[in-house]
Structure 1
Amino acid sequence: MKQTNKGLLSIFIAFTITAPITTYAHVKWFAEVEPEKVSVEQILSPFFITFALIVAIILAILPQIMGYLLKIPYANKLDHFLNGFRKYSRYILKYGTALAFIIQFFSGTMFAPEFIITDTWQTVMMVLIIVALLIPIHYSTKVAAILMSVLFITVWADFGWFYMLDYGFYLAIIFVLLIGSTRFENWGFPFLYLGTGLSLCWVAVEKWVYPGMTLDIVMNHNVPTFGFDPEIFIVMAAFVEFVVGYLLVVGILNRILGLVVTVIFILTSMLFGMTEIVGHAMIHIVLLIFIIEGVSFYHPPIRIHKTKVDQFIFVFLNFLFVLATFILIYYRFA
């Protein structure tokens, strides 16, 4: 039994480490071709369906081996060490958001690299948000959250709701900042887990529906495919991102995921340069919070089920259901 668990753990670690560095890059930031939607038959290829089933099985087994991860030397001590930083999480989010907006401001953008600051009022709003976040008063933080929401809504109105779903995690950040120091404060980070996870899942589906853009990046930036055919590689790349988002939502491996994804973001920054840094600075802050918080007071859906068999069935079927739902909705409105 121990050998089986170690083998499964090894497979998962290998799957994560070899995650392609294009996985977390927004393809629309770098692709030089127009998006071309492929047919559903092309998306749901035999390889896609087989790989989805394999991933669902691995994810269903993960909760059963979580206890073994803490038995790794020093893992338990590291867990307690990180717990000591939880009291700083909200400060990290507040001042980290200010830092991300400062980077965006000096690059002439807001929220993401494709949203260029074109009007004076947008410049003023960015400055006011940064200043309000830097003032160490919780009322000032709420003002910053309100200004962020106004600016986000205006961008949303210009680009459309479908386009802006890629950046839905900003709504979660605004919500956390807005309810700080209130009786609803404990709702903040669970919403942040949910918002960030769903955003990653949504962005992943783009790579299946518009594979041509990702293929263009792989070819033009000489991204290593580890011996896989580029088209197969793209499917696997999107699965890695979708899995990360799904695991954040269901509350599995939050600290490990945060650390692994942070390392991958650093690698993508080396490959794609300043655009990647500007676009993912805010995500880095969120991932740092996930590394510190772990599951924290967040009660993931999997805890509803008590037995191992129930948890296995829940994760297996739930993953396939969530995967199918995201593809259906994205394809319908793409």
Structure 2
Amino acid sequence: MLQHKKALLTFIVALMIATPITTIAHVKWFAEVDPIKVPIEEILSPFFITFALVVAIILAILPQVMDYLLKIPYATKLDEFLNGFRKYSRYILKYGTALAFIIQLVSGTMFAPEFVITDTWQTIIMGLIILCLLIPSHYSTKVAAVVMLGLFITVWIDFGWFYMLDYGFYIAIIFVLLIGKTKLEGWGFPFLYLGTGLSLCWVAVEKWVYPGMTLDIVVNHGVPTFGFEPEIFIVMAAFVEFVVGYLLVVGILNRILGLVVTVIFILTSMLFGVTEIIGHAMIHIVLLIFIVEGVSFYQPPIKIHKTKMDQFVFVFLNFIFVLATFILIYYRFA
């Protein structure tokens, strides 16, 4: 039993160490160079392909190991403790979103640091959203969700659909707030997992397609590369972010991932300052919900397959397929 506890602790620590700081930093907020798309041949380098295969194998093994880790008594007690807070998840999202929008409003932005408030009506709309979220009524929450959607669409029109896919998780948040106290309420958090995971995967691909921006951050902000060449480090950092998003979508390690990424957010705030806090305040709230919820409502697709070999093959091929699809779509429209 002691060995199991040590194994779990070692795994969590290793995951934290393997999560580079630039994984969480949004390169658009800090890069001082123009985005330059590299040739697809440069992205799909021998190192990239080899690393992708290694990651796919590790992910395929991970579900088999998780069953043993979850049998640890301490982990079971922690699960039961966190399960008691699930009834507050929607309140965390509602009032957490209000807090994130207050931070944005004070900083003169909306949704993200690059979307600066330029007109009085935008300030009024932001204030209205905050007010409706703070009112303890699900009707006012729905009003806030509709107004938030309208504001998001205006930003979407200004910056384009491709640019705004980085912030697709806001659509998921709006959806959860909108369907509260309805027959569709049960679809809310699964959609939140899906939207957040896909957003993380999408942002990760940006680091492969536009490596120059991430390289600029690594050099100018003194980001540690742990002995790796900056170019290699960037590829690995993007893989970590992509894997985090992928695991959220498939429903594996949600609580551990939420905890690890939250710790990394705190570290990045120390490195990148106020901009990081403003930009990721909303993600903090979402990760807190993931820590509380776990996968209570979600049946991972891997459970369709009964034998361990079938599960191994499914996860391996599924990850390669998802990775290839994201890269091709992003590269096509970038």
Counterpart residue number, 2:139: 139
The CA distance in 2 between the partners of 1:7 and 1:81, in whole Å, is 21
Contact 1:194 1:249 in 2 (8 A): yes
Q: Name the aligned partner's letter for residue 59 of structure 1.
A: L
Q: Name the aligned partner's letter for residue 289 of structure 1.
A: I
Structure 1 position 306, deviation (Å): 2.1
Provide the aligned length of Structure 1 versus Structure 2: 333
Counterpart residue number, 2:55: 55
Q: TM-score, normalised by structure 2?
A: 0.96
Counterpart residue number, 1:239: 239
Provide the aligned C-alpha RMSD in A. 1.9
Matched position secondary structure for 1:114: strand
Q: Name the aligned partner's letter for residue 296 of structure 1.
A: S
Contact 1:189 1:298 in 2 (8 A): no
1:228-260 deviation per Cα after TM superposition (whole angstroms, max 9, x unaligned): 000000000000000000000000000000000
The CA distance in 1 between the partners of 2:311 and 2:224, in whole Å, is 36
Report sequence identity in percent. Answer: 85
Structure 1 position 307, deviation (Å): 1.9
Matches within 5 A, 1:8-87: 14-72=14-72, 74-87=74-87
Structure 1 position 311, deviation (Å): 1.2
The CA distance in 2 between the partners of 1:62 and 1:291, in whole Å, is 19
Structure 1 position 187, deviation (Å): 0.2
The CA distance in 1 between the partners of 2:131 and 2:138, in whole Å, is 13
Contact 1:256 1:291 in 2 (8 A): yes
Structure 1 position 9, deviation (Å): 9.1
Aligned: 1:272 with 2:272: yes
Matched position secondary structure for 2:21: coil
Structure 1 position 321, deviation (Å): 0.2
Contact 2:12 2:256 in 1 (8 A): no
Structure 1 position 299, deviation (Å): 1.9
Q: Name the aligned partner's letter for residue 263 of structure 2.
A: V
The CA distance in 1 between the partners of 2:245 and 2:92, in whole Å, is 21
Contact 1:27 1:213 in 2 (8 A): yes
Counterpart residue number, 1:157: 157
Aligned: 1:98 with 2:98: yes
The CA distance in 2 between the partners of 1:116 and 1:46, in whole Å, is 41
Gap regions ≥5 residues in structure 1:
none
Q: Name the aligned partner's letter for residue 130 of structure 2.
A: I
Contact 1:110 1:116 in 2 (8 A): yes
Matched position secondary structure for 1:115: strand
The CA distance in 2 between the partners of 1:15 and 1:261, in whole Å, is 10
Matched position secondary structure for 2:19: coil
Structure 1 position 72, deviation (Å): 4.0
Counterpart residue number, 1:195: 195
Q: TM-score, normalised by structure 1?
A: 0.96
1:197-220 deviation per Cα after TM superposition (whole angstroms, max 9, x unaligned): 000000000000000000000000
Distance 1:153 1:294, change over 3 A: same
The CA distance in 2 between the partners of 1:84 and 1:288, in whole Å, is 14
Matches within 5 A, 1:179-218: 179-218=179-218
1:132-183 deviation per Cα after TM superposition (whole angstroms, max 9, x unaligned): 0000000000000000000000000000000000000000000000000001
1:38-58 deviation per Cα after TM superposition (whole angstroms, max 9, x unaligned): 011110000000000000000
Gap regions ≥5 residues in structure 2:
none
Contact 2:146 2:178 in 1 (8 A): yes
The CA distance in 1 between the partners of 2:10 and 2:96, in whole Å, is 34
The CA distance in 1 between the partners of 2:287 and 2:166, in whole Å, is 17
Counterpart residue number, 1:254: 254
The CA distance in 2 between the partners of 1:56 and 1:7, in whole Å, is 21
The CA distance in 1 between the partners of 2:105 and 2:152, in whole Å, is 15
Q: Name the aligned partner's letter for residue 234 of structure 1.
A: I
